[in-house]
Structure 1
Amino acid sequence: MSWFPSFGFQRRKRELQEEIDAHLQMAIGDRMARGQSTAEAKTSALREFGSVPMIADVTREQWGWLRLELVVQDIRYALRQLRRTPGFTVTVLLTLALGIGANSAIFTLVNAILLRNLPVTDPKSLIRIGDRNDCCISDQWSDSGDYSLFATDTYYMFKKNLPEFEELAATASFYGGGPLTVRRAGPETVAKSMVGTFVSGNYFQMFGLSPAAGRLFMDADDQTGAPVTAVISYEAWQRDYAGDRSVAGSTFYINGKPVTIVGVAPKGFYGDRIDTNPPSFFFPMHAMDALIGASFFTDPNKQWAYIIGRVKPGTSLPALQANASALLKHQLATLQMFTDPRAQKVLPLAHVVLTPGGGGIQNMQNGYKDRLKLLQWIAVLVLLVACANIANLLLVRGMSRHAEFSLRSALGAQRTRLVRQLLQESIVLSCMGGLLGLAISYLGAHALLALAFPDQHNMPVAASPSPLVIGFAFALSLATGIFFGLAPALMAARTRPAGALRANSRTTAHGASFLQRGLVVMQAALSLVLLVAAGLFAQSLTKAEKVNMKLDTTNRYVVHFNPHGAGYKTTDVELLYQTIVDRFHAIPGVLKVGVSTYTPMEANDWNSGVKVQGDPDLHKTASWVKAAPEYFGAVGTHVVMGRGFTPQDTMNAPPVAVVNQEFVKQFFGNRNPIGHRFGFDDPLHPGTDGAHEIVGVVEDTTYTSVYWKNHAMYFLPLAQPAGLRTPGDPDQSVYAGAIVIETSHSIPGFEKVVGDTLASINPNLTILKFQTFRQQIDNRFTQERLISRLTSLFGLLALLLAAIGLDGVTAYTVVRRAPEIGVRMALGAARSRVIGMVMRGAMLQTVAGLAIGIPVAIFCVRYVKSQLYEITSVNVPVMAVAIGVLTFAAAIAGIIPARRAASIDPVRALRIE
């Protein structure tokens, strides 16, 4: 019975002996290649292996350690070989580090934004009802029938009738109606502006979370008449209250209302979605009306909530989706909005789409998905250029070690051994490059976050590489090592000792190998593609930034504030706004003070259906803003017909409106709109089409984004109601959110002046955000600027790598052809002819790269044109500049070895052996 394991062990010992012999042969060959005699080489090699016991005496316990020692010796040998060529090693390591670092940095963001699951229990079992990121409050039906936003009654209906869910929770599609004014109870506490969200009572239970302190919500917290409670996020608890455990159980004043903080959310939980400014507080959704005046909470026609739940094991998702769609259709049929004939036509289409909920609500992911994927592909192209460059360097290095490989083969080294040794060297090199790349990715990810989110400091995205990113970098470096080490290793394995040892250096071999030339051509082609991409995105950014937005940013400042959070009622705000205007006009240098619900280039858009009186068949949507009289002048928008708002357009005055030129075009054509009336296209409030009289027309100012064309807008006086309100229904739109201030000159320390002025009116009026108007507009191009800068950086990096590759191949060609060049020069060839001969070979490879890269670049534009501003194809100037830059770089890379070739001494070249 013991014969089989003994036989196996003896076989392994024989294999080990063969491996040790191969090590000895390799060590002897290495020493002979360095100039030692055969006897010296054998003596020093045997001395190195003196610690290795005789194989015949090796026990089973020693066998494993011996194997490990041989592996360590392999690594030592590889490191010794790399130390002998420091220039080569440093070049390869930097090339690898940049290629792998760029990919790992991008993948860090991809992983953190697109691939990361919520830090909750069993995220795979979470399912969201809905597949769109609609926001924020809607009373409109969906023409496509796809619903992702739901009313309170619809949530409770789903919760009652979908037993397939273990838990089903609701969360607000918006964050707290704007920043909240938060002040901890106690003397000398200061009010702060923070973000909050509203959730159902079973929200934390559905996610399977435990508190960091205190407790989390229970169903009893989310009931009509229950005391208002809140849960603070772990990050806000640490950041603003230094982890004080007494926060749990204490009283805070939120928008002037007393709220009991019952607990702290677990560390790392930022809510149900990734957001640039995650919530600091969670409130029960039944507290919504008390805290932010959300009368829509009890309106069955107002859709405001996302719904996400945990399904029971074994649940059939298609059957669950069909059941939920049928329940929704039945629910919608009972609503007043579906009494409209147009709504009844689309009611049969009503349905929901179930989507995975483990990653949370995908608002931010969908916004960044396309651009992050584009960056990942660009980084992959850079890595391909880097791999081609390293492969070329290794090929050159492998050929320079031709004599060494021949000697080893002559001494009996097997081909597999040579392949294995070269692969080990390249893998060791790639692992070192991977570690450097990981360090670069850490720094690069921080830089990318700063570029992508320049004004955000609470981003729930960590730049530190996660285990997934570390694994990605390691796998990438290992695959790269095998990839670029395989070709040189196989070429070395084909070495024929007799022929190699007979050959000398006096050869007229023509240039580098086909593989080397092919790698240079590939580098040139990929570099051209990246340069074209960089040119297109730079051109797109320039065009977008130079759009005439009909806005004036000179000496303009934007101040965001929250009067509702400061405790003002809807009946108090008209006097407040007049006080704000008067106080700011008292500041020397202030010219205009425009109070409004929101400002042109912020991420905000209020919209509604519009119905023009006397035109019942026209149904379109337009955006709207409420503003004070000086608003148009403050943002630089000109009135082109009629008038703007005046101080006489008060709460009790006849309702008026100002529309933009696109509104006139869409709703009136060539007719004069002045004097016509319109209102909301609202089936819940029929007969409101005459709510507002048009008194003026303004030019088409850009709002939200320059990509939004044909943007119809109307403007209402800030103090007047929007539409014809039902008695007892408070108009929340009278609450302003921003002040645009125009000054005669730049005022140093103006933010403090503004803060002091607001505090003098009411200590609870705090600045939520202060920026110049120019900064606000620039922030709308953050993603475009990120893409443009990174494609330019990657394009230049690829160009540099391609130039290094071309220089290396050309230099190697010159070395191999040195005897031939010596003969030519001895026979009278001029230096210019030698330079021309070398340059011709270098430029032919570049031209071949251009021939491949030009059609590839033209073809690839179709995949990125959706991210370009008014650019649908590669234009001649961009292509010409890219070709010129690549050609110039190739000429520089080629001229250096060409001039070196022309300086060869014919006598010395002919003596080369």
Structure 2
Amino acid sequence: MRRRSDLAEELASHLKMAIADRIARGQSPADARASALREFGSVPMIADVTREQWRWLRLDLLVQDLRYALRQLYRSPGFTVTVVLTLALGIGANSAIFTLVHGILLRSLPVNDPSRLYRIGDKDDCCYFNNFQNDNGDFDLFSYDLYLRLKQAAPEFEQLAAVEAGGNSYTVRRGAAPAQPMRTEYVSGNYFSTLGISAYAGRVLNDTDDSPGAAPALVLSYKTWQSDYGADASIIGSTVYVQMHPFVVAGIAPPGFFGDRVIANPPDLWMPLASEPLLEGANSAVKQDDELWLYPIGRVSHGVNIEALQAKLSITLRQWLATRPLYTDHGEAALIPRQHVTLAPAGGGIQKLQQQTGAGLRLLMILSTVVLLIACANTANLLLARSTARRAGVAVRMALGAARRRIIRQVLTESVLLSLIGGAAGLAVAYAGSHMMLALAFPRARNMPIAATPSLSVLGFAFLVSLLTGVVFGMAPAWMSSHARPADALRGANRSSGDSASLPQRALVVLQVALSVVLLAGAFLMTRSLRNLEHQDFGIATTNRFVLQFDPKGTGYTLDRLPALYRQIEERFSALPAMSHVSLVRYIPLGGNMWGSCVIPQGHPAPGPNDHCMSVWDRASNQFLDSIGVPIVRGRNFSPQDTATSQQVAVVNQAFAKQFFPHEDPIGKHFGVNKPQYSGAFEIVGVFADFKMTDPRRDIGPLFFRPLSQQFTGYQESESDAGEKSSMFVSFIILDFAQVPPDAEALSRKTLAAIDPNLTVLRFSPYDAEIAGNFNQDRLLARLTSLFGILALVLASVGLYGVMSYYVVRRTGEIGIRMALGAARSAVVLMVLRNALGQILIGLALGVPAALLAGHLMASLLYKVSGYDLLAFSGAILLLTICATVAGFIPARRAASIDPMQALRTE
């Protein structure tokens, strides 16, 4: 416990400080002493205060410090606004990024005890597969039969559920209301109990719902219930129609529950796995033992050794694979010993969006931290300049007896208060920034589980950053202020012999320049990468083209009704004004979905385990290639002569011909898929020019199209036959206008409704927008790094301008003497610019190596641009040098305009 004499000494020091403060504000010494004594009480009585009274006195002193700080900030509005805006941008940028990092990377599922949830598998593989998945033997997708085998073999799981890897978009209708597309997910009956989730209303799914012959049931998400059904409680127990099949709404999921993964479009409803054959028919994945399409996720018992369980499950996997001909034929049994599973923590959900966005978010977090450092350096520079300007006032206070500790605390109070105000303003920036980033990254998001509103964690983060900023970057000005010499007050404010603030200020400018190089180089790299992505040659034409998505299967169409429907669509839409081509296709190029099969040319043996036989393929109508502007380079396109009874035909791209028929003419050659007995199924009648069908970042691979007019009936396995039938149902109409009518969307919707009022337009958009959707996250990264780079450039230029302005003011007398002795104005400008350029060059020398390291770390995010791109680094250095030179030239020009006589009079 502190002695009373120490307390009395400290309070007496505070009294002297209060008197000095009042004198500095213009009161006479006598009035200042009298008002201070009225506020503090009599000094001789201080030794008699109790500890409780002392606590209140200390609180009162803190309030006085706050009042003093607010008064000082109010007297300098320009300084206050500049610092608050600078910190708001720095802290706001960090808080906005942290909002996304917390919502995507750090968030736990809103379920019971998420720490005990584990997923069998650790990669985002999607969505249907039927072969070895990865070269390293890592299994991440599982068939229904394999899921049941794992569930039986692992009692270490209290419960093990299964969820669909990809999800579907099905047409849902209630009563006479129009049908609407909804995001659905198949789950096992124990899904909700595994996660520890109970219903908000009604009940959740259970094992009874997931048994054969059970009445189809579903659970709606809370957001869907509110947004699409107006929170109508009567929907529980009522019937809705999914793909024309009746389902009973069993219940409503609780608020905040979005499923088992963080994605832009979480499920609107969940259905049991047992209902999948009802909706998919012969194409049911549940009934196909080799169809890999499920993620198993379970809750482990307390005390389970995860590594031992992982090894046990890997053995079970290999035992199952050894019983399946698909994995043992054609020499592939040799691959089974390397197959294994990885148990991954699933408390944060199945890592889909995390894996897709993690690298970008981490990069943005680093860049926003650099912005914050630049903002803090700028703030520290302003505080140093302010402490120098207030040196005389502090000297007066110390001459009157103010304690150095009180001076430091008062300056720190002002610095922390500024930072907290900047942090509060930064939350507004964070709120707007996170909204903007979500809109840019996920423009089609529906019921997205990531909230743009800062959470308690984000608020705590912003407060901590603000507090640390105020303390760390206010310490140097506080220390310098406390070392003001009372003799300076007698000499005058402008007669100080020392210049202790100059070196720290220059060092901070050097730091700002170095960090700005990193951000500007990153901005140039990301912008060039985005430009390469968006302006590459995709091989297709998109001008005046539109994409209309619909779902004939969900409206009840059967295979025998499809040909008549497709003819009507082509005839009705072709009759629209200025229509050039109309085509139908299952999956559109660069739309995000595609089929893949192993191609076996006729006369070739079955491919071995190390042979690359995969090709993507699609169904399309005769005018498809014309509608996207892709020419036939050899042979012919589909024609009306390609009928259901004629030879099965296909058109292939140049990459297909090069890989499977090298050094020979592919026209007239035959091939099949998956099994050697089907190798003569399809005859190649044409080769079309290469274009990008799937990932715009990857090289063009083999691709073939088959006509909608032909269905192959020679498959002997139910799996292949079911897939063949499913491929006949298209999803998109591509409209190619010679000249786009102003009401293209309304006209298209009206035309489809005239064909069948039950056909719903699920989406209508320009083809350019479809392609642009591939680059949402790249665009976000490029725009944010550019924004950060511009912000860093402005802050660094302002910082250099401030330091050089201070340099000119401090050396006004010297400059006046030089000019009085005959120095030319150009020599004065050169002297000041030399000083500024020295700081710039040192900053560049430190910043360029750091920027090269940053480019190396960013390499995986770049497309066809090196992390050491000379143009990007040259542009960053040139732009920073120009702006910094201008920022230094303005004070230099002002220095050259100084009147020598006036400058000498100030001395």
Task: Provide closer, same or farther for how the CA distance between residues 17 and 564 of structure 1 changes in structure 2, counting only shifts above 3 A.
Answer: farther
Q: Which moved more, 1:116-125 or 1:717-726?
A: 717-726
Aligned counterpart for 1:292 among listed residues 268, 274, 280: 280
Aligned in 2, Cα 1:127/1:31: closer, same or farther, shift over 3 Å? same
CA contact (8 A) 1:612 1:677 kept: yes
Provide the C-alpha distance between the structure 1 equivalents of 2:286 and 2:187, rounded to a whole number of angstroms: 12
Match of 2:684 in 1: 694
Q: Which SS does the other structure have where 1:604 is aligned?
A: coil
The one-letter amino acid paired with 1:653 is S
Shift of 1:53: 12
Q: Which residue matches 2:235?
A: 247
Q: 1:263 to 1:719 in 2, by over 3 A?
A: farther
C-alpha separation in 2, matches of 1:219 and 1:525: 62
Partner of 1:414: 403
Distance 1:206 1:14, change over 3 A: farther
User: Which amino acid counterpart does residue 179 of structure 2 have in structure 1?
Assistant: A
Partner of 1:5: none
Is structure 2 residue 73 aligned with structure 1 residue 82? yes
* Long gaps (5+) in structure 2: none
Could you tell me how far 1:19 is from its partner in structure 2? 3.7
Aligned to 1:760: 754
Quick one: distance in 2 between partners of 1:855 and 1:207?
A: 49
Q: Does 2:865 correspond to 1:874?
A: no
Q: Is the CA contact (8 Å cut-off) linking 2:392 and 2:492 kept in structure 1?
A: no
- The answer as to whether partners of 2:125 and 2:140 remain within 8 angstroms in 1 is yes
Question: Of the candidates 653, 656, 662, which is equivalent to residue 660 of structure 1?
Answer: 653
- Contact 1:507-1:820 at 8 Å conserved across structures: no
Residue aligning to 2:537: 548
What whole-Å deviation, never above 9, does each CA across 1:243-268 have from its counterpart, x for those lacking one? 00001100011111111001011111
Alignment of 1:120-269 (within 5 A): 120-142=111-133, 143-176=135-168, 179-185=169-175, 188-269=176-257
1:506-545 to 2 correspondences below 5 Å: 506=495, 513-545=502-534
Which of 285-294 and 219-228 deviates more? 285-294
Shift of 1:221: 0.4
Q: Distance in 2 between matches of 1:719 and 1:285?
A: 33
Match for 1:398 among 387, 398, 404? 387
In structure 2, the partner of 1:4 is: none
Matched, 1:332 2:321: yes
Q: Does 1:848 align with 2:838?
A: no
Q: Which runs of structure 2 are paired with 1:797-808 in the superposition (5 Å)?
A: 797-808=791-802
Deviates more, 1:339-348 or 1:373-382: 339-348
Alpha carbons 1:378, 1:794 under 8 Å: kept: yes
Q: CA deviation at 1:12?
A: 6.2
Look up the equivalent residue of 2:252 and give its one-letter code. V
d(CA) in 2 for partners of 1:12 and 1:287? 80
Distance 1:599 1:54, change over 3 A: farther
| 1: CA distance, partners of 2:287 / 2:62 | 72
C-alpha change, 1:201 and 1:457, in structure 2 (3 Å) is closer
**Rounded Cα–Cα distance in structure 2 between residues aligned with 1:54 and 1:749:** 87
- Report Cα offsets for 1:764-789 as digits up to 9, x if no partner: 21111110111111222222221111
Query: Which residue number in structure 1 is paired with residue 60 of structure 2?
Result: 69
Q: Distance in 2 between matches of 1:506 and 1:902?
A: 22
Moved more, 536-545 or 207-216: 536-545
Q: CA-to-partner distance for each residue in 1:441-488, whole Å, 9 max, x for gaps?
A: 001111111111223343221100011111111111111111211122
- 1:390 to partner: Cα distance: 0.8
Is the counterpart of residue 116 in structure 1 residue 107 in structure 2? yes
- Aligned-pair distance for 1:237? 0.5
Q: Distance in 1 between matches of 2:44 and 2:542?
A: 82
1:573 maps to 2:562: yes
CA apart distance, 1:191: 1.3
Find 1:564's aligned residue among 533, 553, 576: 553
Residues 43 and 230 of structure 1: CA distance in aligned 2, closer, same or farther (over 3 Å): same
Aligned-partner Cα distance in 2 for 1:411–1:776: 73
- 3-state SS, counterpart of residue 554 of structure 2: coil
Paired positions, count: 897
Aligned counterpart, 1:3: none
CA distance in 1, matches of 2:669, 2:853: 51
State the shift of 1:737 in Å: 1.2
- Pick from 473, 498, 506: which aligns with 2:462? 473
Offset at 1:416?
2.9
Q: 1:511-545 CA deviation, whole Å, 9 max, x = no partner? A: 96222111111111111221121112212222222
Kindly provide the CA deviation profile for residues 223-259 of structure 1, in whole angstroms up to 9, marking residues without a partner as x. 1110101111111100011100001100011111111
| Matched letter for residue 311 of structure 2 | A
- Give the aligned partner of residue 810 of structure 1: 804
1:57 deviates by: 5.2
Cα distance 1:82–1:53, how it changes in 2: closer, same or farther (>3 A)? farther
The 10-residue stretch of structure 1 (196-205 or 478-487) with the greater mean CA deviation from structure 2:
478-487
Question: CA separation in 2, counterparts of 1:397 and 1:869?
Answer: 46
| Counterpart position of 1:703 | 693
Percent identity over the alignment?
49
Instruction: Supply the distance in 2 between the matched residues of 1:797 and 1:724 (Cα, whole angstroms).
Output: 65
Q: d(CA) in 2 for partners of 1:659 and 1:751?
A: 32
Q: How does 1:456-471 map to 2 (within 5 A)?
A: 456-471=445-460
CA shift for structure 1 position 404: 2.7
The question of whether the paired residues in 2 share the 8 Å contact of 1:561 and 1:737 is answered with yes
User: 1:61 deviation in Å?
Assistant: 4.9
C-alpha spacing 1:497/1:52, structure 2 compared with 1 (3 Å): closer
Q: Residue type matched to 1:113 in 2?
A: I
Work out the CA distance in 2 between the residues paired with 1:165 and 1:521.
58
In the alignment, structure 1 segments of 5+ residues that lack a partner are: 1-7
CA distance in 2, matches of 1:715, 1:21: 91
1:721 Cα offset (Å): 3.8
1:49 aligns with 2:29: no
Letter in 2 for 1:532: A
Residues 426-447 of structure 1 show CA distances to partners (whole Å, capped at 9, x for unaligned) of 1111111100001110011111
Q: Find out whether 1:749 has 2:749 as its counterpart.
A: no
Instruction: Say which of 277, 284, 288 aligns to 2:265.
Output: 277
Equivalent residue number for residue 589 of structure 1: 578
2:616 counterpart residue number: 623
SS at match of 2:678: coil
**CA-CA distance at 1:510 after TM superposition:** 7.8
1:197 shift after superposition: 0.9
Distance 1:909 1:265 in 2: 77
Query: 2:20·2:402 contact (CA, 8 Å) conserved in 1?
Result: no
Give the CA deviation at 1:722.
Answer: 6.3
User: In the TM superposition, what is the alpha-carbon distance from 1:412 to its structure 2 partner?
Assistant: 3.4
For residue 411 of structure 1, report the CA deviation from its aligned partner. 3.3
Are the counterparts in 2 of residues 692 and 723 from structure 1 also a CA contact under 8 Å?
no
Q: TM-score, normalized by length of structure 1? A: 0.95
How many angstroms apart in 1 are the aligned matches of 2:645 and 2:414?
84
User: TM-score, normalised on structure 2?
Assistant: 0.95
For the pair 1:368 / 2:357, whether they are aligned, the reply is yes
CA distance in 1, matches of 2:342, 2:279: 32
Q: CA deviation at 1:144?
A: 2.3
Query: Residues 330 and 209 from structure 1, CA distance in 2 versus in 1: closer, same or farther, beyond 3 angstroms?
Result: same
Distance in 2 between residues matched to 1:376 and 1:502, nearest whole Å: 49
The one-letter amino acid of 1:637's match is: V
SS in 1 for 2:558: coil
Call closer, same or farther: CA 1:52–1:159 in 2, change over 3 Å.
farther
CA RMSD, 1 decimal:
2.1
What is the CA deviation profile of residues 307-335 of structure 1, one whole-angstrom value per residue up to 9, with x for unaligned ones? Answer: 10111111111111111111111111111
Which one is further off, 722-731 or 301-310? 722-731
Number of the residue aligned with 2:434: 445
Q: Distance in 2 between matches of 1:834 and 1:305?
A: 75
Q: CA deviation at 1:408?
A: 3.2
Distance 1:723 1:805, change over 3 A: farther
SS in 2 for 1:593: strand
Partners of 1:904 and 1:762 in 2: how far apart? 83
* Residues 1:390 and 1:724: Cα distance change in structure 2 (over 3 Å): farther
